[in-house]
Amino acid sequence: MKHALETLFDRHYPDGSIALKRFREHLAEAQLDFDVEASINVLDSPPQASFPSGLPSFIHYYIYGTQFGTVKKIPVGAGDPAHAFASDGIGLNMGCPIRLSHALDVLFSLKSEDQKEPLAQIRARRNHFACVEELLWLTLWKQQTEIGRGGELVPKVNGNKVGDVDWFFISRGTPIYLEAKFRPTDWMRTQDCGGEAIDEGFFGEIGHKFPSEKSALRKCVAAITGFAEPRHDDADNSFFALCEKKLLSTPGLDAILYRSLLGPIYVCSLDKDIVAQIFALIRYPELCEYPPCYPVLFNRKFREERAAFKKPARLPEQGRVIFAIVPDNQPSPSFQPQYPYRCDIPKRGNKGEPHFQNIPPFLKSSSDVRNNKP
């Protein structure tokens, strides 16, 4: 019987055995603070009427010691900030080996001096997933050359260093300075998890490392990875309103890019020519490059509490943001099974890792029965 990793790499690489060998070599070289292979687990999504073959199994590694998980503090009331940290899932305390494989390929392709900071970040439990997602932004550009750390673009302020830009590279002859961010608490914004609006912090810590004026010789770009696609409707315009606010207040920032873990890439700017230029530089991943879906497993009772507490999301907006969606100017099509998948956690491993058990539709979990839940 194939090991789960062999199955996964065969799904997503033309030659899975060679890719898996390289992945294991990179893991040995990276010396992470946790053992990826020892923590591999599989979450199956069994067949049902609307998905006769089920969904592809979620083959993942678990990291204990992140700030997320169902082992964390239980939220007390709808407004408790603990809601953001009380779930298990991709990018929270579970990782995709394919995403890690691509990130390590990028990391070890860099010059040795440019590897030091990201290597320290990817080794650390709390920074690991953010570093993976930030490295993956370097895989999304056409005809890319001269990849390295971005260095300092802004002179010291009152003797204090503003900070180095994450990355510099050239794409089709265009110099790009890229600052990348991962927003793990954005899982709450997905429709299944309650559909929270974003707040000011979503675009926080972006732009201050860039000069105060644009230059014709380069493009300064911020790139954010989250979980849910932007909305712009009567119920919620928070993404584009706050994106506009950030771009207006940061004149040296040419564009903001946004993608969910598996969704299309939004190119946002105040200038339509910049949108068109950057749109043409972006390489969208091939269909089989990554798994088709990732789960976040949340407590349904907590979701109902959040929904009752949800705040209005219409914000002031001038309509200045121009955006395009890579690859084909269409949001991702949404698909939902007829019956949402439900899990119980009958036991945990010695590191607190949840062992999930699927609950067939209409059947209560054993914990519901014990607690007399309807």
Tens digit of each residue's pLDDT (9 = 90 or more) over 335-373: 778 888 888 889 888 888 888 888 877 554 444 434 444
For the chain, helix, strand, coil in percent to 5 are 30, 25, 45
pLDDT in tens, 232-273: 887 789 999 999 999 999 999 999 999 999 999 999 999 999
Task: Compute CA distances 285 → 225, 229, 241, 288, 326, whole Å.
Answer: 15, 17, 28, 8, 10
- Provide the domain count of the chain: 1
pLDDT of residue 338: 81
Are the C-beta atoms of 233 and 191 separated by less than 8 Å? no
* CA angle centred on 111, ends 107 and 115, rounded to 5°: 45
For residues 336 and 43, what is the distance between their CA atoms, to the nearest angstrom?
Answer: 18
For residues 144 and 168, what is the distance between their CA atoms, to the nearest angstrom?
Answer: 10
Higher pLDDT pick, 280 / 330: 280
Torsion of CA 142, 143, 147, 153, to 10 degrees: -70
* Closest of 160, 169, 158 to residue 223, by C-alpha: 169
Residue 125: other Cβ atoms inside 10 A: 15
Could you tell me the two tokens for 323?
A: 């955006």
Residue 85: other Cβ atoms inside 10 A: 18
Could you tell me the two tokens for 246?
A: 């950030």
**Token pair 């036991």: residue:** 347
pLDDT in tens, 303-344: 887 777 666 567 889 999 999 999 999 888 777 788 888 888
The pTM for the full model equals: 0.92
* Closest of 137, 116, 106 to residue 22, by C-alpha: 106
Burial class (CB in 10 A: 0-12, 13-18, 19+), 186: buried
pLDDT of residue 269: 98
What is the percent of the chain with per-residue pLDDT over 90, rounded to a whole number? 63
Amino acid at position 306, single letter: R
The domain containing residue 143 runs over which residues? Answer: 4-370
For residues 230 and 264, what is the distance between their CA atoms, to the nearest angstrom?
Answer: 11
For residues 93 and 95, what is the distance between their CA atoms, to the nearest angstrom?
Answer: 7
